[in-house]
Structure 1
Amino acid sequence: MQTPLHLACANGLADVVTYLIENKCELNLVDNGNRWPLMKAVQCQQEKCVAILLEHGADPDLADADGNSAVHLPVISPNTSAAGLLLEHNTGIDAQNKEGCAPLILAVSEHQGEIVGFLLNKGADVHLNLIKVLLHYGADVSHKDTNGWTAEDYAVVHGYSR
Structure 2
Amino acid sequence: MKKIFSFGQKKRQNPSNSFAAPRRDCGVRASGRNAGYLIRDKDLGKLHKAASIGDVAKVQHLLLLRKQDMNDLDKVKRTPLHLACANGYPDVVSLLVERKCKLNLCDNDSRTPLIKAVECQQEECATILLEHGADANLVDANNNTALHYAASGLNKDIAAKLLKHKTNIEAKNKEGYTPLLLAITENNHDMVDFFLKNGANVNASDKSKRTALMIAVSSEPTGIVSLLLRYDVDLSCQDIYGCTAEEYAIVSGYPIYHQLINQYEIRKKHNQRLSPQINSSERVSTTGFNLGGPALDKELQKSPVQTSGRRIAGGNIL
Same fold (TM over 0.5): yes
Based on CA coordinates, which of the two structures has the bigger radius of gyration?
2
Flag the structure with more relative contact order, 1 or 2, with Cα contacts below 8 A and sequence separation at least 6. Answer: 2
Instruction: Judge conservation of contact 2:185–2:216 (CA < 8 Å) in 1.
Output: no
- For residues 224 and 184 of structure 2, the distance between their equivalents in structure 1, rounded to whole angstroms, comes to 14
Task: Give the CA deviation at 1:152.
Answer: 3.4
Shift, 1:32, TM fit: 1.9
Q: SS of the counterpart of 2:229?
A: helix
Quick one: structure 1 residues 150 and 125, their matched pair in 2 at CA, closer, same or farther if it must change by over 3 Å? closer
Other-structure match for 2:166: 90
- Aligned position for 2:114: 38
CA distance, structure 2, for counterparts of residue 34 and residue 93 of structure 1: 20
Aligned: 1:23 with 2:99? yes
The 3 A distance-change label for structure 1 pair 99 and 151 is closer
Segment of structure 1 superposing worse, 78-87 or 128-137? 128-137
- Asked whether 1:58 is paired with 2:134, we answer yes
The structural deviation recorded for 1:33 is: 2.6
Verify: 1:110 aligned to 2:186, yes or no.
Answer: yes
- The residue aligned with 1:122 is 198
Aligned to 2:151: 75
Give the secondary-structure state (helix, strand or coil) at the position aligned to 1:51. Answer: helix
Higher mean displacement: 61-70 or 119-128: 119-128
Q: Secondary structure at the match of 1:33?
A: coil
**Identical counterparts, % of pairs:** 46
Question: Residues of 2 paired with 1:70 and 1:55: CA distance?
Answer: 15
- Contact persistence 1:54–1:89 (CA under 8 A): yes
Structure 1 residues 107 and 136: alpha-carbon distance in aligned structure 2, compared to 1, 3 A threshold:
closer
Shift in Å, 1:87 = 0.5
AA in 2 matched with 1:35: R
Match of 1:152 in 2: 229
The number of equivalent residue pairs is 154
Q: How big is each residue's C-alpha offset from its partner over 1:33-81, in whole Å with a ceiling of 9 and x where there is no partner?
A: 3210000110111111111101111000001111101110011111111
**Rounded Cα–Cα distance in structure 2 between residues aligned with 1:4 and 1:112:** 34
Match of 1:14, as an amino acid? Answer: P
Q: 1:135 to 1:81 in 2, by over 3 A?
A: closer
Q: Secondary structure at the residue paired with 2:202? A: coil
Q: Which amino acid aligns with 2:112?
A: W
SS at match of 1:18: helix
Give yes or no for the alignment of 1:47 onto 2:123: yes
Q: Is the contact between residue 13 and residue 49 of structure 1 (CA under 8 Å) also seen in structure 2? A: yes
- CA shift at 1:132, angstroms? 5.1
Cα deviation for residue 11 of structure 1 reads 1.6
Letter in 2 for 1:133: M
Q: In structure 2, list runs of 5 or more residues that go unmatched.
A: 1-75, 205-209, 233-263, 269-318
Task: State the SS of the aligned residue for 1:35.
Answer: coil
Higher helix proportion: 1
